Amino acid sequence: MRNKRFGNWTQYIGLIITLCLISSFKTDTKKKSNNDTNLVISSVWYVAGPTIENQEVINTIRKKDTIIRVTATNSPVGEIELNVLITPSQSNDGSPTNLPEDSNFVSITYKSSHPIKLQAREGNEDGTGCVHGGSHPRVDLPISPDKFTTIKIPWSDFKQDGLPNGKRLNINNLCKFNFVNYKPVAGATLEITAVLIQNLKQSKN
């Protein structure tokens, strides 16, 4: 009888230990996911070009559904440019961000009917402003028309004009991301649910 009771207590203690380990794992996972700021949540987004949605609509949907969504008009003329500052600002030309040394990539979850050029725009040479223009190393985002896909892009992949020998991105002077559709067609869509910069922490906007 004593052995039976001892066995029950052993099973009980083992169950408690297992539950504690599971809880600890979930907490660690949550902490790790919270390390990276999602720019879809933290920052105001801006748009230029022939889209059905204007800036107000884009950000209203962003705050409600945690998604960025743009659709080309029926007769689009010119490129569509969707952009977001790394550090939130009262305008589309704020201050550049000096990313932490342990930040090695950006992770993007998106769905797109057409090819997208992702530009990482740098600040001015003094590192004090984000006026439009200047250096903007870039990468290509492949088409993903039917489902959301997540792509992890190392900072070393961003090169000026997308050229193999182009100048590499300076992550200590990073202003914004530009998602550009250079040749939109009627109804072309781009949806983004996450833009996560490794080890960047910010408050929500």
Q: What is the pLDDT, as a whole number, of residue 21? A: 47
What are the φ/ψ torsions at residue 201 (nearest 5 degrees)?
A: -120, 130
pLDDT digits (tens, 9 = 90+) for 105-152: 999 999 999 999 999 999 887 767 787 666 889 999 999 999 999 999
| Burial class (CB within 10 angstroms; exposed 0-12, middle 13-18, buried 19+) of 86 | buried
**pTM of this structure:** 0.80
Report, at the CATH architecture level, how domain 36-197 is classified: Sandwich (2.60)
Residue spans of the chain under pLDDT 50: 6, 20-33
SS3 181: strand
Q: What is the pLDDT, as a whole number, of residue 31? A: 41
141 and 186 in contact (C-beta within 8 Å)?
no
